[in-house]
Structure 1
Amino acid sequence: MEPIPLPSHIHYELLLQLLERQTTPAAQHQSQHQAQVHELISTLRKALTQQKRLEESLSRANVPIDYRWSLNSAGLETVSSDVR
């Protein structure tokens, strides 16, 4: 069975850290932008949660997962499903 390619979790983590540590403080005096930043953070957290649900479903179905670090090296630099 062909592995299902999914982004490595680090992609979500890096984006969340950037938004929480740098973007949020920079936008704190602009309420409209601050609200949009919080919405973006929430959306990314939901996306990561949804991906984890998909991973659990694939695991239960014994479908292998191919965690990808980039598009440029698809099929060359992949990480096994033990490393996220």
Structure 2
Amino acid sequence: MQPIPMPSHIHYETILQLLERKTQREANQDRMTQEQVQALILTLRKAFSQQKQLERSCDQLRIPYEYHWSLSAQDPEQPAE
């Protein structure tokens, strides 16, 4: 069985740090934008939590998975372009 590709955890951390440290600071000037940034941060935290739940399920079911750092790896089932 081929491992299931999963985003590397660092991707979530990088995006969250950008949103929390820079975007959120600049968005404070407009309440609607600030609320949208907060909603985005919450959504990303939920997505990360759901991925960790999926990883735990895979571990329990002995389904292999591997972290991917980019989309550049060629899928063996797709023909080269």
Report the TM-score, using the length of structure 1 for normalisation: 0.85
Larger Rg, first or second structure (1 or 2)? 2
Deviation at 1:9?
A: 0.5
The separation in 2 between residues aligned to 1:43 and 1:4, in whole angstroms, is: 23
**Residue 16 in structure 1 maps to residue 12 in structure 2:** no
Q: Is the 8 A contact 1:68 1:74 kept in 2?
A: no
Residue aligning to 1:62: 62
Which letter does structure 2 place at the counterpart of 1:25? R
How many pairs are equivalent?
Answer: 75
Query: What stretches of structure 1 move > 6 A for 4+ residues in a row?
Result: none
In structure 1, the gaps of 5 or more residues are 76-84
The separation in 2 between residues aligned to 1:60 and 1:29, in whole angstroms, is: 46
Residue aligning to 2:79: none
Deviation at 1:28?
A: 0.5
In structure 2, the gaps of 5 or more residues are 76-81
Which letter does structure 2 place at the counterpart of 1:51? Q
If asked which structure has higher relative contact order (CA below 8 Å, sep 6+), I would say 2
Report the TM-score, using the length of structure 2 for normalisation: 0.88
The separation in 2 between residues aligned to 1:58 and 1:36, in whole angstroms, is: 33
The separation in 2 between residues aligned to 1:74 and 1:46, in whole angstroms, is: 29
